[in-house]
Structure 1
Amino acid sequence: MTNRIAFQGELGAYSHEACRNARPDMEALPCATFEDAIKAVKNGEADLAMLPVENTTYGRVADIHRLLPQSGLHIIDEAFVRVHINLLAVPGAKLCDIKEAFSHLVLLPQCAGFLEENEIRGRVSPDNARAAREVAEAANPSHAALASELAGEIYGLDVLARHIEDTDNNTTRFLIMSPDAQLERRDGPHGMITSFVFQVRNIPAALYKAMGGFATNGVNMTKLESYMVDGSFTATQFYAEVEGHPDDQALRLALDELGYFTSYLHILGVYPSAQPRHV
């Protein structure tokens, strides 16, 4: 055991914040790509991986659903991070000094109102934590980064303005991945979630029939997303999440019925439903 949890991005990224919040006793291991984070677990450099799957502002994270089925890893938990954007600058700089603010492309529009009000020009950086690091290295008092407070702590930057995002509901959902499945029941106050992927058979109304078992057995499906497999317009795979544990009679019957209409069905994980999804 390494007692490490891998994530994509640099130290101070929101994924790093997710690691610290969900697994505070583990060392966070930064990785350049999602594939590298998965590989770090598979080759033993880390015990777990923290992967973002969706954000309330910009939707699902590209490539993750494609990577999950082929990763060989299992979902054992979910975590949520409220994305608070902060204006970070070198010590001694004042808000009136800031002329340019650097951050990831998806973060800049989320605080457009603040930037316009303070006549600050947004500049694109590949990563918000990298923006914080580079602002610290450049030591230019007219430059700032839009990032987490954690990034400010790591790179020695002052917080000139906190929580400057235009909306107050920007949240990212993460999945915690492990090489070992945890299929036992771990009911929390909000029950369990089962995640799986499947491909329907090439018969008329296959998807409609496949979903029928969940309706007739009273199983609540909280997510159903489709994506192409290997770039083919005719090979479609579905990612789904339902409430319940596979040992529950209702879900067991629904999955049995799903099996009749699918050519491929794989359970990715069974894990407690986290409290933030019920707020």
Structure 2
Amino acid sequence: MSQKIAYQGEPGSNSSIACTEKYPQMVPVPCARFEDALAMVSSGEAELAMIPIENSIAGRVADIHTLLPQSDLQIIDEHFLRIRFDLLGLPEASIEDAKEVYSHVHALGQCRGLTNSLGLTPMVTGDTAGSAREIKEWNDPTKLSLAPPGAAEIYGLKTLAQGVEDDQTNTTRFVVLAPKQDFPTREDLPSAVMTSLLFRVNNIPSALYKALGGFATTGVNMVRLESYMVGSGFTATQFMADIEGHPQDEPVRLALEELAFFTSEVTILGVYPAHPHRQLDSSDQREFAGASNR
């Protein structure tokens, strides 16, 4: 029996594309919410979950800082997906007669140039591929959808325009989640490794400066840092960080020791291979953008 990987969205969405790109041998299982996808893994109904965590244009996608600690799962890998959108309509639809365009809020924001130039009214839906399904169900040729390539075939629509996203380097980073297990040792992973963690500091002067001092002195590169308020009292702040390196690497070990000294809580969310996309320079990333999903 094939293993399953859960994702939030509908067939044909970017999350489903990420699943088949990363794990072509697994069966993607659509879920209505991120929580549902994680719950499938926690219950054993699926082996993995694919969750979008950040987009190069829209920024933060999923509130993984709250979802992951509550799920009893951990990050075991990451995947970068070049994001593309096509303009879809019913077989009899035309751009000239269109009035509204439907899609997820992030997709609409990433295709403003097209919608503005065509004078279309943007309408928010819960999912990119879901908007394609709804266009088919509504059977109204004046309504169009912004959806990933492949959604037209799935839902029986016509592609009116291809690659309509504003930024041709638009990329989403996904994390792969699995049940908690021992973190892989340094010897089990390639040289390029990422470690994701949560830590909490009190809301006092210099708290973050002191907490991060160890990363500066040991030369550990922190590639992502996001803050979240804890509770309703606004007296403590939680941070999610991604750093380069393995906790067994001496610089990382020393930096984490320093971090623990100045924080009230440190939780490692995952230790996993760094995606090759991280090693690309700007010109290589443009090449990746042109090649991905062809």
**Same fold flag (TM > 0.5):** yes
Distance change (3 Å), C-alpha of 1:236 and 1:202:
closer
Question: Partner residue of 1:86?
Answer: 86
Whole-Å Cα distance in 2 between the matches of residues 206 and 94 of structure 1? 57
Whole-Å Cα distance in 2 between the matches of residues 188 and 93 of structure 1? 50
Q: Which SS does the other structure have where 1:57 is aligned?
A: coil
Question: Partner residue of 2:236?
Answer: 235
Tell me by how many angstroms 1:40 deviates: 1.0
TM-score normalised by length of structure 1: 0.91
Tell me by how many angstroms 1:153 deviates: 2.5
Ranges in structure 2 where 5+ consecutive residues have no aligned partner? 281-294
1:200 partner amino acid: V
RMSD value, Cα = 2.1
Question: Partner residue of 2:105?
Answer: 105
Distance change (3 Å), C-alpha of 1:157 and 1:90:
same
Matching of residues 27-176 of structure 1 within 5 Å:
27-176=27-176
Tell me by how many angstroms 1:99 deviates: 3.2
Distance change (3 Å), C-alpha of 1:110 and 1:224:
closer
Q: Which SS does the other structure have where 1:163 is aligned?
A: coil
Most deviating of 32-41 and 85-94? 85-94
Q: Which SS does the other structure have where 1:106 is aligned?
A: helix
Q: Which SS does the other structure have where 2:122 is aligned?
A: strand
Q: Which SS does the other structure have where 1:101 is aligned?
A: strand
Contact kept in structure 1, 2:193 and 2:274, CA below 8 Å: yes
2:175 partner amino acid: L
Confirm whether residue 226 of structure 1 aligns to residue 233 of structure 2. Answer: no
Contact kept in structure 1, 2:199 and 2:239, CA below 8 Å: yes
Question: Partner residue of 2:196?
Answer: 195
Q: Which SS does the other structure have where 2:150 is aligned?
A: helix
Contact kept in structure 2, 1:17 and 1:150, CA below 8 Å: no
Percent sequence identity over aligned pairs = 51
Confirm whether residue 269 of structure 1 aligns to residue 287 of structure 2. Answer: no
Question: Partner residue of 2:257?
Answer: 256
Contact kept in structure 1, 2:202 and 2:236, CA below 8 Å: no
Contact kept in structure 2, 1:183 and 1:269, CA below 8 Å: no
Post-superposition Cα deviations, 1:91-137, rounded to whole Å, max 9, x if no partner, equal 34343343332112232232222223334333222222111001122
2:159 partner amino acid: V
Distance change (3 Å), C-alpha of 1:91 and 1:252:
same
Most deviating of 19-28 and 83-92? 83-92
Tell me by how many angstroms 1:201 deviates: 5.7
TM-score normalised by length of structure 2: 0.87
Whole-Å Cα distance in 2 between the matches of residues 202 and 167 of structure 1? 37
Whole-Å Cα distance in 1 between the matches of residues 239 and 224 of structure 2? 10
1:18 partner amino acid: A
Tell me by how many angstroms 1:86 deviates: 0.6
Whole-Å Cα distance in 1 between the matches of residues 133 and 160 of structure 2? 16
Question: Partner residue of 2:22?
Answer: 22
Ranges in structure 1 where 5+ consecutive residues have no aligned partner? none
Most deviating of 251-260 and 196-205? 196-205
Q: Which runs of 4+ in 1 moved over 6 A?
A: none
Most deviating of 166-175 and 1-10? 1-10
